[in-house]
Amino acid sequence: MASGIPETGRALRTLVTENGTVEVSVQEAPIPELGPGDVLVRVEAAPVNPSDLGILFAGADMSAATVSGSWEQPVLTAPLSPGAVRALAARVGKPLPAGNEGAGTVVAAGASDAAQALIGRAVAVAGGGMYADYRRADAAQCLVLPADVTPRQGASSFINPMTALGMVETMRREGHTGLVHTAAASNLGQMLNRVCAEDKIPLVNIVRSAAQEEILRALGAEYVCNSTSPAFAAELTAALEATSATLAFDAVGGGELAGTILGCMEAAAAKDAPGYSVYGTTTRKQVYIYGGLDRGPTIVHRTFGLTWGLGGWLLTPFLQTIGPDRFRELRERVGAGLTTTFASSYTQEVSLAGALQPEAVAAYTRQATGEKFVIAPQSG
Amino acid sequence: MASGIPETGRALRTLVTENGTVEVSVQEAPIPELGPGDVLVRVEAAPVNPSDLGILFAGADMSAATVSGSWEQPVLTAPLSPGAVRALAARVGKPLPAGNEGAGTVVAAGASDAAQALIGRAVAVAGGGMYADYRRADAAQCLVLPADVTPRQGASSFINPMTALGMVETMRREGHTGLVHTAAASNLGQMLNRVCAEDKIPLVNIVRSAAQEEILRALGAEYVCNSTSPAFAAELTAALEATSATLAFDAVGGGELAGTILGCMEAAAAKDAPGYSVYGTTTRKQVYIYGGLDRGPTIVHRTFGLTWGLGGWLLTPFLQTIGPDRFRELRERVGAGLTTTFASSYTQEVSLAGALQPEAVAAYTRQATGEKFVIAPQSG
């Protein structure tokens, strides 16, 4: 181990207990041994993404969360429903690391040339356990940040950028020519607008407020539909007719939105369809649910024939289908655009312990548009 | 035209009117001219399938249907909801033929050898307009019935048999190894049991009553789950674990059944899955809705991770994907099994006019298990 590396480091741990609670705490643990191909990354920035919340809090009722312990060693405890505890049986009693992605500086490396070459470099890492002072990583899995990109700028280099590119890639592979995106003013949604503008892909943005509409208009988005508008279905149908978009990615999940999109896609397709069929048009219509801003049931009024699909979409298995060469191409595109197309911005920076304070938890679990947290372990 | 063929024939016609009603009537019309490759089929039997009802009655409120006109020339009139009329705009004022499939005897033929060869033969035809005294058909599209098969036995040779084979074909093409079927005691469901038994495919039957369960048990079905059982979810999960079935075909559509199947598939998969993932197992789970016994909304509680799909499934476009060679193989299998594997039975036979009588309409629109109508145009 190189000099100057402490023997232990802190990390967030999340534990589902037999008592039906989830406990999230800051734990001190030994710095792991490095294999020949490993590097040790001193984590400087790790974002709080929606996809981190399921691991951190396991679907607990966060309105009933309490924090005990000291400022430096807080323990956040929140109750789980009996149903959630049953579903989480495999997690009970096993503390898990958290933090899907982040970036930092390589402060030690194994003996291999590839690992040694990264010493002192700023790298981004995805794959969990980034809410920590130090994270061991396979050198081959690190994205080396360009010289002018800071770890904070590179911290969100995987999930949102690869999700945006994955949506476009899915569209091409499944034979669609335009996209629909919900919760479209999100950090990811804004990124998707920049990608689609670059690639000249028509994109229909669905938002839930005038303020969100304004964010996207300011970004140059052409098609923005507000689901709270009384004429939403007609406005969405018109946008779908103009764009021929037949593939949607939905972050909301619950309620009637996914079904409404399918219905409007069918209405747009029917305007061009020859004649009438009791089974609807032959236009393939697909909605992928990739998030769960609304945890309630998905309610689908099947008024759009039989040529439709609804399903889940998850980044990691999708990336496994595209092959290593295409994966590398997408990663390189992200690396080249971290301060432009794929830039993320944060409204709040917190330490590991600060991430467990009630007001911080309340803020980032709200998943409000324009509010994004980054954890900076070295800040406290 | 050969001698003995009248100049006109009767046929059922369905008309959506500007007044917001659907009118179904018996109309007399000239016998169509035959092209060189055409034959004229005197229709002897045409089943009333669930897929015929949408064309015949256009989703009208059949509880408010009235019948006027004479016994020989009845006119059934039923009111449409304003929403249905909008959706049916393309049908307004255009009388449509009905009857997706049927069988009869070739009584005249065009000049081609292929057409002439069919004179006097019993053939089955699919493609609409079979609720008629006579139907012109392309000789190449006729299924010539074996000598020991009557038109009544061959009348249902397309929709149910090809749907059952299409489900199995879809399973193989999409990489699944077992099937789930709802409304499984139906004529189609019983046929699917025979096909799966022949092909040694595990099949989980879902029914809604003890009587339906009994029908399938008597047929030798191994896995039958009654959705009205208090332990339905546990029983279905156990059957899914035993069969590894990850593809379901659902005739119900509305309510929570499709989502419950996905949830039980996930529970069965999780028992074998290594470790816990917040995104659920990586087992692909798919439900295709191919019917609408429950026209209400599909309600999906998303408790099964992100590796799932729900969609519509329709026979004709599916058959277009399998290619003409495979299509011919499936048709030949049906032709060879019309009195065994692919046999249909009927509880009621009615004439064209009889099919519009209130008690007949009430009976076949109920789509009750074990009750199936066949229209015999020559019977009255």
Q: Is B317 on the interface with A (CB under 8 A)?
A: yes
Q: Is B305 on the interface with A (CB under 8 A)?
A: yes
Quick one: DSSP state of residue B34? P
Residue of B15, B92, B289, B302 for testing the chain A interface, max A β-carbons within 10 Å = B302
User: What is the distance of C-alpha B278 from the center of its chain?
Assistant: 39
pLDDT(B176) > 60: yes
Minimum distance, in Å, between the CA of residue B363 and any CA atom of chain A: 22
Judge: B314–A298 Cβ closer than 8 Å, yes or no.
no
User: What is the distance of C-alpha B50 from the center of its chain?
Assistant: 6
Q: Which residue of A has its CA nearest to B52?
A: A278
φ/ψ (deg, to 5) at B296 = -70, 175
Judge: B313–A292 Cβ closer than 8 Å, yes or no.
no
Q: How far is it, in rounded angstroms, from Cα B177 to Cα B200?
A: 10
Q: Provide the pLDDT confidence category of residue B276 given band limits of 50, 70 and 90.
A: low
Domain ranges of chain A: 8-156+345-375, 159-317
Q: How far is it, in rounded angstroms, from Cα B379 to Cα B299?
A: 45
Q: Give contacts of A253 with chain B, Cβ < 8 Å.
A: 302
Judge: B308–A313 Cβ closer than 8 Å, yes or no.
no
Q: How far is it, in rounded angstroms, from Cα A149 to Cα A159?
A: 17
Q: Give contacts of B310 with chain A, Cβ < 8 Å.
A: 300, 309-311
Q: Is A275 on the interface with B (CB under 8 A)?
A: yes
Of A4 and B189, the structure prediction assigns the larger pLDDT to B189
Task: Sort B138 into a burial class: Cβ within 10 Å, 0-12 / 13-18 / 19+.
Answer: middle
ipTM, two decimals, is 0.87
Residue of B256, B276, B314, B315 for testing the chain A interface, max A β-carbons within 10 Å = B276
Q: Which residue of A has its CA nearest to B251?
A: A306
Give pLDDT tens digits along chain A (380 positions): 455 788 999 999 999 999 999 999 999 999 999 999 999 999 999 999 988 998 999 989 999 999 999 988 999 999 998 877 877 888 899 999 999 999 999 999 999 999 999 999 999 999 899 999 999 999 999 999 999 999 999 999 999 999 999 999 999 999 999 999 999 999 999 999 999 999 999 999 999 999 999 999 999 999 999 999 999 999 999 999 999 999 999 999 999 999 999 999 999 999 877 766 778 899 999 999 999 999 999 999 999 999 999 999 999 999 999 999 999 999 999 999 999 999 998 999 999 999 999 999 999 998 777 789 999 999 87
Q: Is B290 on the interface with A (CB under 8 A)?
A: yes
The pLDDT, as a whole number, for residue A90 is: 82
Q: How many CB atoms are closer than 10 A to CB B33?
A: 10
Q: Which residue of B has its CA nearest to A318?
A: B307
The architecture of the domain spanning A159-317 is 3-Layer(aba) Sandwich (3.40)
Q: What is the average per-residue pLDDT within B32-44? A: 96
Looking at this protein, which amino acid is placed at residue B160? N
Residue from the list B58, B307, B317 with its beta carbon closest to the beta carbon of A312: B307
The pLDDT, as a whole number, for residue A380 is: 77
Q: In the CATH scheme, what is the code of domain B8-156+345-375?
A: 3.90.180.10
Judge: B302–A88 Cβ closer than 8 Å, yes or no.
no
Q: How far is it, in rounded angstroms, from Cα B379 to Cα B142?
A: 23
Q: Quick one: how many helices (H) and strands (E) in chain B?
A: 12, 20
Minimum distance, in Å, between the CA of residue A369 and any CA atom of chain B: 23
How far apart, in Å, are the Cα atoms of A212 and each of A220, A235, A253?
13, 16, 19
pLDDT(B1) > 60: no
Helix residue ranges, H only, chain A: 50-57, 82-87, 113-116, 151-154, 159-173, 187-199, 210-218, 232-243, 257-272, 315-322, 324-336, 358-365
User: What is the distance of C-alpha A61 from the center of its chain?
Assistant: 21
Minimum distance, in Å, between the CA of residue B149 and any CA atom of chain A: 31
Helix residue ranges, H only, chain B: 50-57, 82-87, 113-116, 151-154, 159-173, 187-199, 210-218, 232-243, 257-272, 315-322, 324-336, 358-365
Sheet holding B253-255, edge to edge: A253-255, A294-300, B294-300, B253-255
| pLDDT tens figures, B88-108 | 888 899 999 999 999 999 999
**What is the number of CB-based contacts under 8 A between chain A and chain B?**
91
φ/ψ (deg, to 5) at B118 = -90, -5
Residue from the list B55, B298, B314 with its beta carbon closest to the beta carbon of A306: B314
Q: How far is it, in rounded angstroms, from Cα A27 to Cα A14?
A: 10
Same-fold call for B8-156+345-375 versus B159-317: no
Q: What is the average per-residue pLDDT within B218-230? A: 97
Size of chain B in residues: 380
The pLDDT, as a whole number, for residue B28 is: 95
Looking at this protein, which amino acid is placed at residue B367? Q
Looking at this protein, which amino acid is placed at residue A314? L
CB contact residues (below 8 A), chain A span 153-212, against chain B: none
Q: Give contacts of A282 with chain B, Cβ < 8 Å.
A: 317
Q: What is the 3-state secondary structure (H, E, C) of A81-141?
A: CHHHHHHCHHHECCCEECCCEEEEEEEEECCCHHHHCCCCCEEEEECCCCCECEEEEEHHH
Minimum distance, in Å, between the CA of residue A239 and any CA atom of chain B: 20
Q: What is the average per-residue pLDDT within B190-212? A: 97
Q: Give contacts of B90 with chain A, Cβ < 8 Å.
A: 275-276
Q: How far is it, in rounded angstroms, from Cα B208 to Cα B211?
A: 9
Quick one: tokens of A320? Answer: 């496994």
Would you list the DSSP string of B80-115?
A: PPHHHHHHTGGGBT--EE--SEEEEEEEEE-SSHHH
Q: Provide the pLDDT confidence category of residue B127 given band limits of 50, 70 and 90.
A: confident
Quick one: tokens of A190? Answer: 């804004």
The pLDDT, as a whole number, for residue A149 is: 96
Nearest one of B170, B160, B99 to B313, comparing CA atoms: B170
Q: How far is it, in rounded angstroms, from Cα A74 to Cα A62?
A: 16
User: What is the distance of C-alpha A54 from the center of its chain?
Assistant: 11
Q: A157: which residues sit within 8 A by CB, 6+ positions away?
A: A101, A103, A124, A126, A143, A145, A334, A335, A338, A342
Q: How far is it, in rounded angstroms, from Cα A25 to Cα A12?
A: 6
